[in-house]
């Protein structure tokens, strides 16, 4: 199964994915490819496979992508089918963070008959924030952020939350929930009992 993890910035997606990775060495966490420049502290494959624009174009032409997008009007990011297909065909659990736009692209790819290996093998888990107020606090406390950027992130958070119902599962993150408590809710969906 491919489980896509969605939710607005600040809700705690990456912490949950990190916990899944620590607890489930048998799960597969495919990395995206990106055309953006590597930042200090990053390396090839961490957090992305950094590729050139030409290579990205080649992947598009070869229909290698499950989905891809231009982010922040500059760099391109994409999810390759191949590692996911390989894992799904071996009945492994695959976990990938994505946004609603990305989820819609995945559906389009499946609908076009270009990812048949995902028929009946796709789930999407949306982490719903407790409230906008809590979300603002989390985004602000995480980094020094300018008001304009905060407003942009909030706007995109609102857009995402409005479409949470499109996902196959919703996990409500309560204000008082610890990371472990959220993890338990997510785990109930993913880990077969
Ligand atoms: P950053 O460059 O700061 O690491 O990431 C910028 C944005 O790229 C994030 O919002 C992230 O969600 C998005 N992104 C990363 N990988 C992918 C991907 O495979 N597909 C899509 N559509 N977006 C991605």
Cβ neighbours, 10 Å, residue 100:
22
Contact present, 103 and 146 (Cβ < 8 Å): no
Using the atom order of ligand 1, give the atom closest to the CA of residue 101: 22
SS3 call for 77: strand
Q: How confident is the model at residue 39 (pLDDT cuts 50, 70, 90)?
A: very high
Write out the two tokens for 93.
Answer: 């659990």
Q: How confident is the model at residue 193 (pLDDT cuts 50, 70, 90)?
A: low
Using the atom order of ligand 1, give the atom closest to the CA of residue 105: 22
Using the atom order of ligand 1, give the atom closest to the CA of residue 9: 10
**Predicted local confidence at residue 153, as pLDDT:** 85
Environment class of 162 (CB within 10 Å of its CB; exposed 0-12, middle 13-18, buried 19+): exposed
Q: How confident is the model at residue 58 (pLDDT cuts 50, 70, 90)?
A: very high
For residue 192, pLDDT over 70 is answered with no
Write out the two tokens for 95.
Answer: 């976990």
3-state helix, strand, coil in the chain (%, to 5): 45, 20, 35
Statement: the pTM of the whole predicted model exceeds 0.85: yes
Write out the two tokens for 175.
Answer: 């204000």
Tens digit of each residue's pLDDT (9 = 90 or more) over 74-105: 899 999 999 999 999 999 999 999 999 999 99
- Count Cα atoms within 13 angstroms, Cβ side, for 176: 0
> Which among 142, 185, 191, 184 is positioned nearest to 8, based on CA atoms?
142
Higher pLDDT, 143 or 23: 23
Report how far ligand 1's centroid is from the alpha carbon of 80 (Å): 13
CATH ID of 2-190, from 3.30.70.1230, 3.40.50.300, 3.30.2320.80, 3.40.50.720: 3.40.50.300
Report how far ligand 1's centroid is from the alpha carbon of 71 (Å): 7
Report how far ligand 1's centroid is from the alpha carbon of 111 (Å): 23
Tens digit of each residue's pLDDT (9 = 90 or more) over 124-146: 999 999 888 888 888 888 777 88
Report how far ligand 1's centroid is from the alpha carbon of 193 (Å): 32
Environment class of 4 (CB within 10 Å of its CB; exposed 0-12, middle 13-18, buried 19+): buried
Tens digit of each residue's pLDDT (9 = 90 or more) over 138-191: 888 877 788 888 888 889 899 999 999 999 999 999 989 999 999 999 999 998
Write out residues with Cβ below 6 Å of ligand 1: 32, 36, 67, 69, 71, 77-79, 99, 102
Report how far ligand 1's centroid is from the alpha carbon of 12 (Å): 15
> Which among 91, 95, 102 is positioned nearest to 163, based on CA atoms?
102
Region 48-75: what's the mean pLDDT? 95
d(CA 67, CA 4): 12
Using the atom order of ligand 1, give the atom closest to the CA of residue 32: 19
Ligand 1 mutation target, pool 71, 98, 155, most atoms within 8 A of CB: 71
């Amino acid at each position: 199964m491919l489980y896509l993890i969605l939710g607005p910035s600040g809700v705690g997606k990456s912490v949950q994915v990190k916990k899944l990775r620590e607890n489930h060495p048998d799960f597969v966490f495919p990395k995206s490819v990106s055309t953006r420049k590597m930042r200090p502290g990053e390396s090839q494959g961490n957090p992305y496979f950094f590729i050139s624009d030409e290579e990205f174009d080649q992947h598009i032409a070869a229909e290698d992508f499950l989905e891809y997008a231009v982010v922040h009007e500059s760099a391109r990011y994409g999810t390759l089918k191949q590692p996911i297909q390989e894992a799904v065909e071996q009945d492994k659990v695959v976990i990938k963070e994505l946004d609603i736009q990305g989820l819609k692209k995945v559906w389009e790819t499946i609908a076009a008959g270009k990812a048949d290996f995902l028929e009946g093998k796709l789930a999407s888990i949306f982490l719903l924030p407790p409230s906008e107020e809590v979300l603002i606090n989390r985004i602000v406390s995480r980094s020094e952020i300018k008001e304009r950027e905060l407003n942009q992130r909030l706007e995109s958070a609102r857009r995402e939350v409005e479409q949470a119902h499109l996902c196959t599962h919703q996990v409500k993150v309560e204000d008082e929930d610890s990371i472990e408590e959220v993890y338990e809710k997510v785990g109930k969906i993913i880990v077969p009992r």
